[in-house]
Structure 1
């Protein structure tokens, strides 16, 4: 049996440099311990005792290329689910997609690019939304030529995306009626997306860094580009250059959506910043002439982002990185293992509200309702001002018929969130802001257009 692999500082630095050079993932520059865990597992698999051995493997022609793909799959964090970031999907539903449909009425041709698509939940969510909005506009989606491209650096994620089979964890923000309308059950806990949505989306391997190379990356023009929770892994100057490269691939008046935590800036003149309820979007000028030249070399200034007051204390034990690893495992379909990881961590750090919350969401997705309720209540006990725990618990109680307590819990949630700055990002809210949650709560009370919003707020 092989002993532990060796990670001398110089060798680890060479590995880190090789990974950042190849992938651009600046994320690992100050997280060498995380990279060491992932690389150590790959080295053990191949019997490599030293960093030098593994670097030699990565340089070994076709064999090295295959290992690079496996390593890229292992080091990318693919946490995602359907209709993630409800505020942005509300903007897509109410503003962006209707405008695109109206503008394309003559050609009936739309192109969308989902960068960092992971298991396909994002591009498939767009396919579902587009189909519904076309039908509401009196159009037959089958008469339109809709191309939705999903790209990712993880070959494992792309294989899962093409399969289009999802667990309750990935469908956690979809109500049962929607799940029945959009998916077919293939086992008690797995659902397959209907063919009418699958055929609108195709997937391919691509590193977003290819955009910075001559003729690199998918060719435009695209009407909509989504690049959410991708640029946070890159250095700021590199991220801004990538956005300008995306802008050069937009059709006139095409749109770009970035994640809430991306290093966004003022990208004028190649992109106009559009403030929509709860989010920012970026739109190309009406005339496409010269946009690529306009986007080259534009000086960018970092936008000041509000500093959120921490609602949840972070204990010892690197809670954020543990949560990221648990989510990665769950997204890979190993939900039972992810739940065990939560239990193991909480045995050491019983005050870690972040992992208690994650454990509750996992348990709910697996149908362990009593366990989920207990974990949500534990979060509220440990962090009295935790908004999202009350939000989820209200929904869980309502589903179980506990209307009175559900309404009380929801009112507590609203009272708490009103005390927060509107642009504050709520802990464990997947980018949801306080103002955005209040808006969704009002929309749910009035009868929201998109039912998945009600999953979060009602």
Structure 2
């Protein structure tokens, strides 16, 4: 058995500083145990005994550049899926993309940038949605010059994105009819996106910090930039500078979408804030509109913390939740790499030691459902509800699962319980395990669905 790498405090601080300067990933400054696990695996692979040895290798020309690419790939949490964040995709479908299409009817040219695109699910989701909107408007997609650019720091993720082949886990929010329309089966558990959508998207490697250098990063103008769940990795000052750089790359009246929990709080005078149902969007002002005199409109809008006004019983016990966050992230990465069976076993192993961890029970239920293990999924969702009586999302998914199985009366009863729980929450309260979905947003989504079924796009957050 090989001797594990040495991580003395001074060496770990130097390694962390080097990684932070290169990548900007401030996220790991208070997660050194997680960093040790990730970097330790790379050090063992290369036979590095100390942080000094590994730093020397990272500085070793072409060999170091190749290792940086591998390290960057494992340091970024790339769990994602198609049409993630239902409320933002509703805003894209009903407001943002139609406005861009109307404005571009003459030039028939649109440029869209997906930052931190991971396996390509986000830019491909935009391609599918935009193609449908153009068709609904009687416009030929082939007659438009649509550029959708996906960038990421993970070369592994980019390679997967270019292949455009996705597992059932990544397609877990797409029903069978749409999956058949948008994808071609490769194996019983793997699907390839249709070429008509693939050719709308290109991918390239890019560190988001490149934008802060003169002439660094992709050049604008872009009609739409999506940078969701990226800025959470950075310190607030860097995140603010990055938003400024994105704003400078927007076309006049271009749009910016961020994640729900980004550390930036004020965009004046670069962007206007637009309140849309269940989310905020940001829009570049018309040039020469006297921006310096415009007060911050975002300061009047509360950006709620993750648990604001949420009844305590909606939140898994803190002592369990904090301990299981790195475990949950590791499980999601494993599943997103296509190793769902292994991810499920990781859940079982953790639950054998921590049998009342509702977070991992919930994650296991979602994985089991995606694999078609409906009895296991139902049992685990019910266990979450037993452990956490007011868990909204467990009831949301359980009702959907039961309805699909034909148990409509039971599904209706559980959904009624879910709605009653949601109405006890403040509208802006973010629902645990709801991937940023708010209580008010869930109620709006339910009311807008003809069959009164709960949304299937609010999934496990990364």
Per the normalisation by structure 1, the TM-score is 0.94
| Pair 44,384 (structure 1): closer, same or farther in 2 beyond 3 Å | same
Contact 1:265 1:303 in 2 (8 A): no
Contact 1:252 1:288 in 2 (8 A): no
Contact 2:365 2:376 in 1 (8 A): yes
Contact 2:83 2:457 in 1 (8 A): no
- Per-residue CA deviation, residues 394-413 of structure 1 (Å, 9 max, x unaligned), is 11111111111111111111
Per the alignment, residue 11 of structure 2 pairs with 11
| Pair 92,453 (structure 1): closer, same or farther in 2 beyond 3 Å | farther
1:380 and 2:385 aligned: yes
| Pair 302,319 (structure 1): closer, same or farther in 2 beyond 3 Å | farther
**Where do residues 130-141 of structure 1 align in structure 2 (5 Å cutoff)?**
130-141=130-141
Contact 1:149 1:202 in 2 (8 A): yes
Q: Please state how far the C-alpha of 1:266 moved relative to its aligned partner.
A: 2.6
Q: Please state how far the C-alpha of 1:26 moved relative to its aligned partner.
A: 0.3
Q: Please state how far the C-alpha of 1:306 moved relative to its aligned partner.
A: 2.7
Contact 1:165 1:191 in 2 (8 A): yes
Per the alignment, residue 407 of structure 2 pairs with 402
Q: Please state how far the C-alpha of 1:214 moved relative to its aligned partner.
A: 0.5
Contact 2:224 2:254 in 1 (8 A): yes
Please say which of residues 222-231 and 392-401 is displaced more in the overlay. 392-401
**Where do residues 111-260 of structure 1 align in structure 2 (5 Å cutoff)?**
111-260=111-260
Distance, in Å, in 2 between the alignment partners of 1:205 and 1:455 is 28
Q: Secondary structure at the match of 2:356?
A: coil
Contact 1:263 1:303 in 2 (8 A): no
1:351 and 2:356 aligned: yes
Per the alignment, residue 317 of structure 2 pairs with 313
Q: Please state how far the C-alpha of 1:195 moved relative to its aligned partner.
A: 0.4
Q: Secondary structure at the match of 2:385?
A: helix
Distance, in Å, in 2 between the alignment partners of 1:282 and 1:234 is 20
| Pair 212,4 (structure 1): closer, same or farther in 2 beyond 3 Å | same
| Pair 205,67 (structure 1): closer, same or farther in 2 beyond 3 Å | same
Distance, in Å, in 1 between the alignment partners of 2:32 and 2:410 is 46
Q: Secondary structure at the match of 2:436?
A: coil
Which of 375, 381, 388 pairs up with 1:370? 375
1:425 and 2:430 aligned: yes
Contact 2:397 2:456 in 1 (8 A): no
Distance, in Å, in 2 between the alignment partners of 1:418 and 1:303 is 21
* Structure 2 unmatched ranges of 5 or more: none
- Per-residue CA deviation, residues 216-266 of structure 1 (Å, 9 max, x unaligned), is 000010000000000001001110110010000001100000000112323
Per the alignment, residue 109 of structure 2 pairs with 109
- Per-residue CA deviation, residues 307-365 of structure 1 (Å, 9 max, x unaligned), is 41351224447111211111111111111111111111111111110100000001111
Distance, in Å, in 2 between the alignment partners of 1:340 and 1:234 is 32
Distance, in Å, in 1 between the alignment partners of 2:174 and 2:288 is 38
- Per-residue CA deviation, residues 379-406 of structure 1 (Å, 9 max, x unaligned), is 0111110000111111111111111111
* Structure 1 unmatched ranges of 5 or more: none
Distance, in Å, in 1 between the alignment partners of 2:343 and 2:106 is 49
Distance, in Å, in 1 between the alignment partners of 2:414 and 2:38 is 41
Contact 2:27 2:234 in 1 (8 A): yes
Q: Secondary structure at the match of 1:57?
A: helix
Contact 2:435 2:458 in 1 (8 A): no
Per the alignment, residue 271 of structure 2 pairs with 271
Distance, in Å, in 1 between the alignment partners of 2:246 and 2:158 is 21
| Pair 284,199 (structure 1): closer, same or farther in 2 beyond 3 Å | same
Q: Please state how far the C-alpha of 1:454 moved relative to its aligned partner.
A: 6.1
Q: Secondary structure at the match of 1:305?
A: coil
Distance, in Å, in 2 between the alignment partners of 1:161 and 1:454 is 23
Q: Secondary structure at the match of 2:166?
A: strand
| Pair 244,303 (structure 1): closer, same or farther in 2 beyond 3 Å | farther
Q: Secondary structure at the match of 2:449?
A: helix
